[in-house]
Structure 1
Amino acid sequence: MSSTEKYLKPEVIRTVSRLDLRARFIVEGFFNGLHASPYHGFSVEFSEHRRYTQGDDLKDIDWLVFAKTDRYYVKKYQAETNLTGYLVMDLSESMAYTYRQELTKFDYSICLSAALAYLMIHQQDPVGLITFDEKIRHSIPAKSKRTQLGNILALLSKLQPTGQTEISKNLQRIAAMLRHRSLVMIFSDLLADSGPVIDALHMLRHAGHDVILFHIMDEAEVNFPFDGMVDFRDPETGETMLVDAAGIRGDYLDSVGALRENYRKECLSAGVDYVALDTSIPFDRALVEYLSQRKARF
């Protein structure tokens, strides 16, 4: 593993204190590993280039890229490459949970959103940030200036997950807020009734937006590694429940699997990209989903 690829691992990125460096290392590690991965070619096709086609002006061919790839690529115009994105962050207290991973669900989301902001700004794509719990808390309009990255990272570094959340109502508000077609990237553990959330996703799509839903769970929430009598506490309501872990493991895992599968099917039906993640998964999977969506827009 190279010195940059290791920063795709959550347990390693946790050792980096500065958020700007976390974002940079995640993105650089991602692109450094592309040539040895199934995603080979993304580093070219998703920067400012597209494949040469008959009729393109030969003077637009990027010969440096040709020297590296033996393929003809031309520089895209700014209007072709701009993709407006909004990072949408769930601030609910449940996002602060972790069992044995180095990053909480919220830490993981912050690192991932910071990396996506870094990537978008360096590709000259406008990006903004919206946060919510029971209501919209912050809204930074999308811009592509280099100073925008500092604005977004400054806010991300200050955010704290507290209290309860209203996912569906806030997604509806966001659908009404955004006046231009955008790529809406949502980061949440989705600990809410799935029906209204799915309805709100349909509303975003009906408003003309593309959506990537990053469903971020703790590794323990996915795998249930508990034994014996365990006292579980709901972080948003404070309610506790003492349960026999072995007795409920099967039913619990079935329920989590069914929830994720329901979101996958409903999102597929709505034209939403659904990305199920847990806090042990390297960040490259999420970055590939963003790049795939970006490719589909042009």
Structure 2
Amino acid sequence: MTLHEFIKTALAEDVGDGDHTSLATIPANAQRRARLLVKDTGILAGVEVALAIFDEVDPNFEVEVLMEDGVSMKPGDIVLTVSGNARNILTAERLVLNCMQRMSGIATQTRRMVNLIEGTRAQLLDTRKTTPNFRICEKMAVKIGGGVNHRFGLYDMILIKDNHIDYAGGVTQAITQANQYLKRTGRQLEIEVEMRTRAEVEEVLKLTESGEVRVDVLLLDNFKPDEIRDLVRLIDNRITTEASGGITEANLRAYAETGVNFISSGALTHHVRSLDLSLKAY
């Protein structure tokens, strides 16, 4: 889903056959203005989305942007002003706020976690633990906050997880079949494989020694930091490493200091508090 498609779908959901409150109370030709006010502290995200929403609702809007995505914000700040048809401002209001409030919450959470691993080699990844049909905005917010987008969906990477391994009959079978699939279909996709034990890591390293079978990333899942450090030494940069599972803000730094390349966290996009913004007439 593109951003344009998301906006059209979201507006259709909200407006239906008309914004009847505005149609009933506001003259059709009324021209007004409003400003987007900050009522919370954090990292601003969603300005570009807001501009796209305003343009979709009414291309004749005049919007002045005063703050850009990624900057720190505090109560009393004014993000932007919009002027134009009053009915249309009211139609755009809730979608703009819903997107920006949640995106700012995600960007703030991401920035906080990115700061915790500053100075290490690790980069922070998001996941597919997102809100259905809102993933495009949530992943934009992660990037604004300083994180790295992982795969967007099931179609842009092969990520062999525990259930895939069990259904395929084992690690070797799953990896071999994935390589055969890519060769057969001519697709150029990275292969990442979830590792549950040291023995599985050793199995993959042996399997890929010849270079005939490829694995791009090893997902070290639910290991403790000391175990991750040991596995990183074992892998010795032959394959990119990613840590996940049981990682919190309290232990994030410990995982980052193991030497792992990436740390993935669903916490970037779930259990996030939306930040308070409002659109007010003036």
Tell me the TM-score normalised to structure 1 length. Answer: 0.30
Q: Kindly name which structure, 1 or 2, has the bigger radius of gyration based on alpha carbons.
A: 2
Q: TM-score, normalised by structure 2?
A: 0.32
- In terms of fraction of residues, the more helix-rich structure is 1
Flag the structure with more relative contact order, 1 or 2, with Cα contacts below 8 A and sequence separation at least 6.
Answer: 2
